[in-house]
């Protein structure tokens, strides 16, 4: 009889357990995972995000949170949970109306975040520029994630494998074009048009020269100061072939009606050291598709442009240009010439930066 009672009690217990499980509302799959690559390579100081989570028909909404980040020994890595001050938009930025520092600061706020985050609604992993505070590039970490919905919650170990790298870029260059235009019958003829962009087969090598700041290319980009600590200051300089500075007082946006990141900067000044542009946050420009159109002074005399050397380079096939042919009169009918730089650069690291472009065949002192 005791055995019968024992069996009945056990059966009732099992049924009650089954009924509790059956009473759960909704469904939470065991097969939720992060879509995309198995390993997230996080460049220190970089900013980016991953694909979203695959929910496998789990009941919505699902709420994601980072449960743990473990090193290879299984220990919690507290550096991923430390919070840092971060400037972020609290209202949408409008390049057409937000023209002053006051306009922008009204839409920005300094808050604190960890540098490694998860989007609570879709499971997307995100990292911010404050990841520059992380240490030990090359180390591998395991990211465990908690997912909660109406059913309850589950922990997903190794939701992502994370590897720190030292390959982040403080800025990204997608284009810089150096031009010298001669004005003939009111039309611009680009006798020099040197393109460093994806349309050229040597783009990667030339871009990497600029990243290395080795002085090989006509363009140099380098950081001169860590101030401002948040936000950016850029000084644009045009130099002749001998390193003399074109008069910055005459620098201007090249193309009227074209939205240039020069125009959407604030506190823009033409000073003795170059054109200065500022913005209170990075990445800058906010729209990474913004080009700059910087035009240098216009000259009505040609004693400071080496047309003879340009003609020889044209005949030798070494002159980068947009001409159908070299004019028979060697541009004697031209009435003026000017320089133009077009660029597509995005800065991700705060501080003061210089963009310096040297224009070939130009000699401000008139001596060749």
| CA gap 119, 133 in Å, rounded | 21
Lowest mean pLDDT of 257-266, 288-297, 301-310, name the range: 257-266
Structure tokens at 94: 């409008």
Lowest mean pLDDT of 175-179, 190-194, 261-265, name the range: 261-265
Spatial strand order in the sheet of 252-253: 187-197, 171-184, 336-347, 292-299, 252-253
Q: Report pLDDT digits (tens) over 71-95.
A: 999 999 999 999 999 999 999 999 8
188-214 mean pLDDT:
97
Q: Which domains does the chain have, with CATH numbers?
A: 24-165 (2.60.40.2710), 171-358 (no CATH)
pLDDT(14) > 70: no
Nearest CA among 89, 50, 26, 11 for reference residue 282: 89
Instruction: Say what the pLDDT of residue 254 is.
Output: 72
15 — pLDDT class (breaks 50, 70, 90): very low
Nearest CA among 261, 282, 271, 280 for reference residue 235: 271
pLDDT(252) > 70: yes
Instruction: Say what the pLDDT of residue 258 is.
Output: 66
pLDDT(28) > 90: yes
292 — pLDDT class (breaks 50, 70, 90): confident
CB count in 10 Å sphere of residue 175: 18
pTM check: above 0.85 = no
Nearest CA among 194, 161, 167, 165 for reference residue 179: 194
| CA gap 221, 215 in Å, rounded | 10
Lowest mean pLDDT of 48-62, 89-103, 123-137, 251-265, name the range: 251-265
Instruction: Say what the pLDDT of residue 329 is.
Output: 95
């Amino acid at each position: 009889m005791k055995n019968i009672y024992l069996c009945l009690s056990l059966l009732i217990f099992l049924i009650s357990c089954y009924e509790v499980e059956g009473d759960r509302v909704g469904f939470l799959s065991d097969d939720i995972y992060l879509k995309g690559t198995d390993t997230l390579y996080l460049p220190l100081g970089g900013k980016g995000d991953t694909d979203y989570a695959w929910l496998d028909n789990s009941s919505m909404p699902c709420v994601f949170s980072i449960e743990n980040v473990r090193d290879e020994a299984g220990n919690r890595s507290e550096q991923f949970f430390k919070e840092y001050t971060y400037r972020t938009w609290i209202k949408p930025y409008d390049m057409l109306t937000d023209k002053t520092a006051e306009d922008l600061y009204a839409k920005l706020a300094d808050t604190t975040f960890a540098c490694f985050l998860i989007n609570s609604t879709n499971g997307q992993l995100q990292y911010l520029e404050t990841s520059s505070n992380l240490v030990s590039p090359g180390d591998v970490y395991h990211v465990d994630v908690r997912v909660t919905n109406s059913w309850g919650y589950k922990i997903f170990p190794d939701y992502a494998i994370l590897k720190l790298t030292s390959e982040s870029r403080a800025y990204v260059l997608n284009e810089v074009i150096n031009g010298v235009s001669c004005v003939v019958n009111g039309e611009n003829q680009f006798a020099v048009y040197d393109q460093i962009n994806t349309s050229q087969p040597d783009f990667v090598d030339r871009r990497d020269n600029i990243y290395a700041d080795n002085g090989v290319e006509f363009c140099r980009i380098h950081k001169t100061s860590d101030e401002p600590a948040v936000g950016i200051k850029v000084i644009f300089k045009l130099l002749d072939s001998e390193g003399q500075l074109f008069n910055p007082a005459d620098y201007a946006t090249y193309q009227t009606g074209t939205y240039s990141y020069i125009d959407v900067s604030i506190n823009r000044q033409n000073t003795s050291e170059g054109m200065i542009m500022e913005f209170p946050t990075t990445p800058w420009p906010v729209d990474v598709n913004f080009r700059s159109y910087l035009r240098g002074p216009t000259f009505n005399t040609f004693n400071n442009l080496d047309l003879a050397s340009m003609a020889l380079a044209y005949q030798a096939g070494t002159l980068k240009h947009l001409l159908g042919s070299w004019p028979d009169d060697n541009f004697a009918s031209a009435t003026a010439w000017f320089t133009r730089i077009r660029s597509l650069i995005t800065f991700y690291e705060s501080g003061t930066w210089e963009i310096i472009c040297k224009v070939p065949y130009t000699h401000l002192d008139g001596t060749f």
